[in-house]
Amino acid sequence: MIKVAALLTVHNRKKETLSCLEVLFRQRDLPDKVHLSVVLVDDGSTDGTSAALARYYPEVEVLQGTGDLYWNGGMRLAFAKAMKNNYDHYLWINNDTILFPQTLSKLLETSAQLGNQVIVAASLQDPETLQLTYGGVKRLHHKRPLKFTLIEPGGQPVPVETMNGNCVLIPRAVAKEVGNLDPAFTHGLGDFDYGLRARKLGFEIYLGPGYCGFCQRNPMDNKDISFQTRWKELLSPLGLPPKEWAVFAQRYAGTFWPVFWISPYFKRLIKGFYTK
């Protein structure tokens, strides 16, 4: 039997969570020997998410969060719980991701083709524009060590440097060696860091063939709000917290990491000055 644990962390968005689970449990073309479990962290939802899960998906193991775990903290909790049961694969998935019917089968097949020794990332697209929104990324220039570019999927697995955490299949061999997501990060950066740490340990990361599902891109910058509000958002856990960005920059930007660390804050200040 191949045991797969799907890991999610949610905060409200009950409708999206139920839709995500519906398509997850309806995945097609899976071998009979595949057994899917779900470990989900409900991080302080106030919209009845836990009650809905108990009613419609009682088989889902729900862990209660404190409301301040964010993505990285919630996924760490789910990952830690699942790793105690030594699953063969761990599937990270965001609750706003709608998988195509054969995605899990495709990811498992890709992993098996590569010896179950690689991370397999799924490419996702906008449901309206069909543009690439999340997936695997690469650095295209050595002079910009913190600039990662999304890579288009192909007909065969495509090697990448790291990945967005929206839909990722991690085999037991990788999880055992790399461990959990790093608590140095609260919300973002934890997924990129995990992939880069895996590569430092000798593991490879591949995009699965083709697109695997729908997921809208989160809005990056709202120009209709004040500079002060945008600056506050940049420094928040959902933005680019300076201490966490410093950790990431020190690890992956080389000797001149302070220059790359300060760059996004400097650019935002300059932009704010000229748009007042």
In the three-class reduction of DSSP (H, G, I as helix; E, B as strand; rest coil), residue 193 is classed as helix
Task: Report whether pLDDT(274) > 60.
Answer: no
- pLDDT value at position 223? 61
pLDDT at 222: 58
pLDDT confidence band for 269 (50 / 70 / 90): confident
What is the architecture, at CATH level 2, of domain 2-214?
Alpha-Beta Complex (3.90)
pLDDT at residue 116, rounded to an integer: 95
Residue 48's contacts (CB-CB under 8 Å, 6 or more residues apart) are: 14
User: Which of 50-64, 174-188, 195-209, 255-269 has the lowest average pLDDT?
Assistant: 255-269
Positions of CATH 3.90.550.60 in the chain = 2-214
Looking at residue 230, its pLDDT comes to: 83
Residue range 209-261, pLDDT digits in tens: 999 999 999 765 556 678 788 878 888 888 899 999 999 999 999 999 999 99
Separation between Cα atoms, residue 33 and residue 19, nearest integer Å = 25
- For residue 273, pLDDT beyond 60: no
Task: Look at residue 272 in the predicted model and tell me its pLDDT.
Answer: 58
> Is 5 buried (19+), middle (13-18) or exposed (0-12) by CB count in 10 A?
buried
Residue 31 is predicted with a pLDDT of 80
Q: Which of 65-79, 105-119, 145-159, 220-234 has the lowest mean pLDDT?
A: 220-234
User: Of the given ranges (80-84, 101-105, 140-144, 191-195), which has the lowest mean pLDDT?
Assistant: 140-144
DSSP state letters, 109-160 = HHHHHTTT-EEEEEEEE-TTT--EEESEEE---TT-TT--EE----SS-EEE
pLDDT higher than threshold 90 for residue 46:
yes
The residue-averaged pLDDT of 28-41 equals 93
Asked if the model's pLDDT at residue 207 lies above 60, the reply is yes
Judged against a pLDDT cut of 60, whether residue 182 lies above it is answered with: yes
Banded model confidence at residue 276, pLDDT cuts 50, 70, 90: low
Q: Span 9-26, mean pLDDT?
A: 97
- Per-residue pLDDT, averaged over 83-111, amounts to 97
pLDDT for residue 220: 59
Secondary structure letter of residue 174 according to DSSP: H
Rounded CA separation 142/139 (Å): 7
Query: Which of 107, 85, 88 shows the shortest CA–CA distance to 33?
Result: 88
Grade residue 155 by pLDDT with cuts at 50, 70 and 90.
very high
Please provide the average confidence, as pLDDT, over all residues in the chain.
94
